[in-house]
Amino acid sequence: MSSNSFAYSEQSGGGEATELGQEATSTISPSGAFGLFSSDLKKNEDLKQMLESNKDSAKLDAMKRIVGMIAKGKNASELFPAVVKNVASKNIEIKKLVYVYLVRYAEEQQDLALLSISTFQRALKDPNQLIRASALRVLSSIRVPIIVPIMMLAIKEASADLSPYVRKNAAHAIQKLYSLDPEQKEMLIEVIEKLLKDKSTLVAGSVVMAFEEVCPDRIDLIHKNYRKLCNLLVDVEEWGQVVIIHMLTRYARTQFVSPWKEEDGLEDDEKNFYDSDDDQKEKTDKRKKSYTMDPDHRLLIRNTKPLLQSRNAAVVMAVAQLYWHISPKSEVGIISKSLVRLLRSNREVQYIVLQNIATMSIQRKGMFEPYLKSFYVRSTDPTMIKTLKLEILTNLANEANISTLLREFQTYVKSQDKEFAAATIQTIGRCATNISEVTDTCLNGLVCLLSNRDEIVVAESVVVIKKLLQMQPAQHGEIIKHMAKLLDSITVPVARASILWLIGENCERVPKIAPDVLRKMAKGFTSEDDLVKLQILNLGAKLYLTNSKQTKLLTQYILNLGKYDQNYDIRDRTRFIRQLIVPNEKSGALSKYAKKIFLAQKPAPLLESPFKDRDHFQLGTLSHTLNTKATGYLELSNWPEVAPDPSVRNVEVIELAKEWTPAGKAKKENPAKKFYSESEEEEDSSDSSSDSDSESGSASGEQEEEGDSSDDSSEDSSSEHKSDSESASEVGNKRTAKRNSKSKRKRDSEDGENENEKSKTSDSSNADSSSIEESSSDSESESESESESESRKVTKEKEKKTKQNINPLTKDVSLLDLDDFNPVSTPVALPTPALSPSLIADLEGLNLSTTSSVITKEVRLKTSEEKSRKIFKDYNPHIMVSTPVFVPVKTHVLLHRMSGKGLAAHYFFPRQPCIFGDKMVSVQITLNNTTDRKIENIHIGGKRLPVGMQMHVFNTIESLEPEGSITVSMGIDFCDSTQTASFQLCTKDDCFNVNIQPPVGELLLPVAMSEKDFKKEQACLSALHLPAQQTQEC
Amino acid sequence: MIHSLFLINCSGDIFLEKHWKSVVSQSVCDYFFEAQEKAADVENVPPVISTPHHYLISIYRDKLFFVSVIQTEVPPLFVIEFLHRVADTFQDYFGECSEAAIKDNVVIVYELLEEMLDNGFPLATESNILKELIKPPTILRSVVNSITGSSNVGDTLPTGQLSNIPWRRAGVKYTNNEAYFDVVEEIDAIIDKSDDVSFHPCIRFKRWESERVLSFIPPDGNFRLISYRVSSQNLVAIPVYVKHCISFKENSSCGRFDITIGPKQNMGKTIEGITVTVHMPKVVLNMNLTPTQGSYTFDPVTKVLTWDVGKITPQKLPSLKGLVNLQSGAPKPEENPSLNIQFKIQQLAISGLKVNRLDMYGEKYKPFKGVKYVTKAGKFQVRT
């Protein structure tokens, strides 16, 4: 580290020297020739005069102009002597600007800079803390090696200053001195050690920053301060929070054992671990048998959680990475919501957050699956955001959501941004390999893309198809034939070359086509692109080896053509191939193996995420973003096998008592820190360890001292006691207030109407056209009455829905009861509005030009009618499976958590074609684990199905984390009846009998057809004695 | 952490530089310009660039690039968030964050940057503290200062800096005490699923957790109390609909363009301030359109069509129709352009969120309270 910074300072020093040199010559250059510079000189003269005048206003003007020059990057160094004289100015603004100047140029004019030092030394003793602090700032920013001892002294003194603001500046000065003279390290560490003990939230962030720069390896300095840092964290300023959280993440990874191995019974331990804290021995014994989380480990995880709600994206990310790296796997899930929220932010934040989500989503799909739609791409997103979102969508794809995703990809493929379209095609390829159910569908879709007009799209499709076929070569004779036909139309060389390679590889599977292709190619050999020519040669060679009877002459013809080609690469290749495959005396041993050489089994390319290898960097770091180790990156160590002695973090009680008495007093002067972490303490007090007990004890002692004025910041920000009593009285108030407001509301609702009228009329005169409601209870009744009056315009059905959705938000007590929406149920609760009718149709539709607005009428036909089945089978061009216009959000309970011993299951009809079979109805099942233990081996056991009914079960779920939820899809062929499908939902230990009975409506399939056809079909149906209305549900 | 900052305008001029440690030559920005050239579009310049000796982390705000120079490992979001805070502060002080405003107030800018960062680590970023240290420019003050020679710079440490509530200065006194709430909601058309909130640090998190009450000591002046995100599961909540018919004929140099906007489920409120922006495909040469309402412009260079609609009156729905001239001979565009829509609905919070009540404790006066609701289009995109 030190060598790094040293090396750097040399470089930068060099850079400056040259830069300086240039500027120096330009300013000194003979004035006559360059009018510009001479005027500069003159200007500077007049600045000098102004600085020497005895009027402050003139000096200030001069300084402002000089700062303007610095800001533009112009050289103002020659004014140094004139400026430095003003360092002791009484005018604070002049003084500050002189400081700005000094910090910029002192390094270049070291001797002159020394003149100012005595002024700073005096200012360091000033009674005004702001002046002391800024003197220290400037003194430590002057990079003049000669004053190192003076700086050291100043830092030491400042670190004991009464003002926390000065101490904060001292912490910053440590880093400055360290970079100026690394030799001072040991002395500086002493200061750091001292400042780490500081109890001011103002200092905490800065000193940890200094720790990270000067001695990040001295983890021992943290032990005694660990609990304090955890407890102060919420109240530290946001920038400090980021630094502290990153440091504590590293700390935790060296001091605690991994919480990832066995997580069973975690919650139970959590309840009693504070009790066992006293006797450590018992605990270490216990650990060998079952994992117990160190209470300090838990403390960190718990105390960082509220910061997920920070407005600062860096803080949210810092907490997220902490959870990712040190919390039990079952608890990581809570960060996803906050990270997704950050995506509403500006593009730079999005970029970084998406990168981190991409890394996380590879390892833990489930975390972000409920937020799938947050990663949908807008056409206005910058390309870098688009590709990142696409990456995440790919990582999240599973058999339950793939149909929705493929439909979304269909839009992307048509994007004007061709780079993005190409990336989408790659993505489809990856989905096809990962999810075997859709491989064929994707392949078909990609084949259709081969006739796309855009070269990039075609080329990319060919490449992807090639990769796909390479993985399962056995089954795809048909597609190879299809691609062979495409050779007639496709012109993009890279695509033609890929097709030829593919045919060559599979020449034994398409024995009739391959020689024919070779014949065609031989005909046009001379006019092909070089890339294609090489592949024609390859194809010829492979055919010669496998089917020499038919192709011997052809190959020789091609080899002859190649021999005289203009391109030497092709001539070389021709020569090489001829030697290898045509046996003669010279060819030697190699030609025996020609077949093995040409038709060797080639490994299929791996289609995997580019983010796969990023997980070894700590999330949220620069190194993670760049995917290379940045200078100064601190490795996150692996968990230790055995935890180091946890007692090192114990703060001795005697010492505490000593420290606390003055600290308690100091707290009267300094604002207390417990303001925003108030109830935290309450929570802990019952079960916290001895030292935090004493902490809260002393805190409560201090409460009695508080006064009532809120002017005094120390008191108003202080104790829980006050806010408790306040909150108690608030509750009281609220109760009465609520009663009041209730009774009042009745009155108000009448008044409200009138007022509402009033405000409406006054609106027109109000420029803002905003209504300012005088009291909130008014506003409620008002908008309620409004919404009622509005609802007249809305159809009843819709009204119900809006009410349903507004209701949770209009609860009386809470302003914003957002948690009412249970994220666990969301994957089911939010059905996709646009679901794919048929995957194949989807992707085949890729190349269809956008149907601009064919007005279609939507009809749902009952699939049971043999007639309509037939229509489907015949692929009647007038009737196309279409997207359901409306998918209800309703879920049905499959297994209640009470009867399922904590396992809850809901099912839902997504109304999309089933991927398991066209007679089956798709059913999505969401499983929730409401217990505190992992539920393992969830699968479907015995089925009791009526005759003819069939069921495609979901794959066994290995394990479901506590609080975890997972959505799986299955298919059931109800035989077009509403008979109940009964089966057993089993876990490792239990079996539960469950039933699914479909409503009639869910057995239908949406299709689109013209009105004429509809009438025709309707006529057929009525012949079957079905009331026409029943089929007309649109 | 943050070594230096360069402000760069759209034409690539570095018009301000500030160094917190030793000076880094402007030439480091060449790496940035290189990346900018490669990216073609300003939006695509990567926010993090690695150079042989430094890392450049940049943001793009109001047509300006804020490029910071970093030397060692740092969380990128830390820098990004800070740079945005700098831009916010400029906006707050000068009313706009533009090259002209920054150049006009270069001394204040410098003083601000000096206070916001010490040795590359943020020192004071709260607007309430900064405003006590460095007073924002006003015409009156600059006149007074030039006569009396008094300064814009405070000489005592702002009280907020030392307290645990750095966002509020002490001893705030007004003759009228007012609390206004603007509930501004934005609708994203690609609707998200779950809800989440982020808070200004002044909110007592524990009270929120236990009682679902927002309890806080507010900063003095405007500030963002909470940001929230609610999922809108019912599609009917989208207040406008668009009928569109955009088609390009094969082998012909013209196409049809027809869009109509109508209100839907707007709860009786007028939808106003509607603007439709369409990025037309590159082959479009020009457009001849007739709006029934408002005015439209088409920029043939950037191919952006902007239609300023105004209000919707349900009796007569605004529409924009006409012909599109395409480059002859070029293949017709494969994809129809997406429509980006902006709108505003006053007096409505579409999520149904309400400021239920505002109670104040610890003060004797009763403040005037007001709540204003606005619903706006966020990222609202209609795929055609």
Cα A392 to Cα A616: distance, rounded to the nearest angstrom: 18
Amino acid found at A968:
V
Q: Are B325 and B287 in contact (CB under 8 A)?
A: yes
* Least-confidence region, from A683-692, B234-243, B342-351: A683-692
Neighbours of A813 (CB within 10 A): 11
Query: pLDDT band at residue A301, thresholds of 50, 70 and 90?
Result: very high
pLDDT at residue B89 in the model = 92
Residue of higher predicted confidence among A476 and A222: A222
Beta strands B178-187 and B368-377 are parallel
Residue of higher predicted confidence among A673 and A301: A301
Q: Which residues on adjacent β-strands are paired with residue B243?
A: B260
Per DSSP, the three-state class of A625 is: helix
* Least-confidence region, from A56-60, A217-221, A448-452, B153-157: B153-157
Q: Are B321 and B364 in contact (CB under 8 A)?
A: no
Flag whether pLDDT at A695 surpasses 50: no
Query: pLDDT band at residue B169, thresholds of 50, 70 and 90?
Result: low
Nearest to B99 by CA among B67, B68, B64: B64
The answer to whether A349 faces chain B, any CB pair under 8 Å, is: yes
Q: What is the mean pLDDT of residues B303-330?
A: 83
Give the minimum alpha-carbon distance from A389 to chain B in angstroms, rounded to a whole number: 14
Maximum C-alpha span of chain B: 77
Q: Give the DSSP per-residue string, A272-300.
A: HHHHHTS-HHHHHHHHHHS----HHHHHH
Q: Over the stretch B194-232, which tens digit does the pLDDT of each residue have?
A: 356 677 777 777 777 777 777 877 777 777 777 776 665
Interchain CB contacts (distance < 8 Å): A and B: 441
Q: Are A629 and A4 in contact (CB under 8 A)?
A: no
Q: Are B88 and B80 in contact (CB under 8 A)?
A: no
Q: Give the DSSP per-residue string, A716-727.
A: HT--HHHHHHHH
pLDDT at residue A131 in the model = 86
* Least-confidence region, from A25-34, A581-590, A907-916, B63-72: A25-34
Residue of A nearest to B58 (CA): A348
Give me A453's structure tokens. 């007009």
Please answer yes or no on whether B161 and A672 come within 8 Å at the CB atom: no
Please answer yes or no on whether B165 and A634 come within 8 Å at the CB atom: no
* Least-confidence region, from A28-37, A150-159, A284-293, B38-47: A28-37
Nearest by CB to B151, which of A93, A632, A770?
A93
pLDDT at residue B313 in the model = 77
The answer to whether A901 faces chain B, any CB pair under 8 Å, is: no
The answer to whether A209 faces chain B, any CB pair under 8 Å, is: yes
The answer to whether B137 faces chain A, any CB pair under 8 Å, is: no
Q: Over the stretch A307-357, which tens digit does the pLDDT of each residue have?
A: 998 889 999 999 999 999 999 988 898 999 899 889 888 999 999 999 999
Do the interacting molecules here have an ipTM over 0.90?
no
Q: Are B222 and B279 in contact (CB under 8 A)?
A: no
Query: pLDDT band at residue A272, thresholds of 50, 70 and 90?
Result: very low
Q: Which residues on adjacent β-strands are paired with residue A859?
A: A1007
> Which residues on chain B are in Cβ contact (under 8 Å) with A815?
212-214, 354-356
Give the minimum alpha-carbon distance from B256 to chain A in angstroms, rounded to a whole number: 11
Q: Over the stretch A37-74, which tens digit does the pLDDT of each residue have?
A: 445 556 678 888 888 888 888 888 889 899 999 998 88
How does the average pLDDT of chain A come out, rounded? Answer: 72
Nearest by CB to B267, which of A92, A104, A790?
A790
Please answer yes or no on whether B162 and A713 come within 8 Å at the CB atom: yes
Residue of A nearest to B168 (CA): A713
Residue of higher predicted confidence among B99 and B375: B99
Sequence-ordered strand ranges (E) for A512-564:
none
Q: Which residues on adjacent β-strands are paired with residue B60?
A: B65
Residue of A nearest to B281 (CA): A416
Q: Give the DSSP per-residue string, A488-515.
A: TT---HHHHHHHHHHHHHTTTTSTTHHH
Q: Are A32 and A26 in contact (CB under 8 A)?
A: no
Q: Give the DSSP per-residue string, B205-231.
A: HHHHHHH----B-PPSS----EEEE--
Give me B225's structure tokens. 């109390």
The answer to whether B210 faces chain A, any CB pair under 8 Å, is: yes
Determine phi and psi for A487, rounding to 5 degrees. -55, -30
Give me A963's structure tokens. 């609080």
The answer to whether B91 faces chain A, any CB pair under 8 Å, is: no
Please answer yes or no on whether B338 and A379 come within 8 Å at the CB atom: yes
Share of chain A above pLDDT 70, in %: 67
Q: Over the stretch A988-1023, which tens digit does the pLDDT of each residue have?
A: 888 888 888 887 777 777 666 777 777 777 766 654
Residue of B nearest to A377 (CA): B190
Q: Over the stretch B271-286, which tens digit does the pLDDT of each residue have?
A: 888 888 888 888 888 8
Q: List all residues of chain A from 152 to 181 with a beta carbon under 8 Å from chain B.
A: 163-165, 168-169, 172-173, 175-176, 179
Please answer yes or no on whether B267 and A346 come within 8 Å at the CB atom: no
Helix (H) or strand (E) holding B376: strand B368-377
Q: Are A1015 and A1032 in contact (CB under 8 A)?
A: no
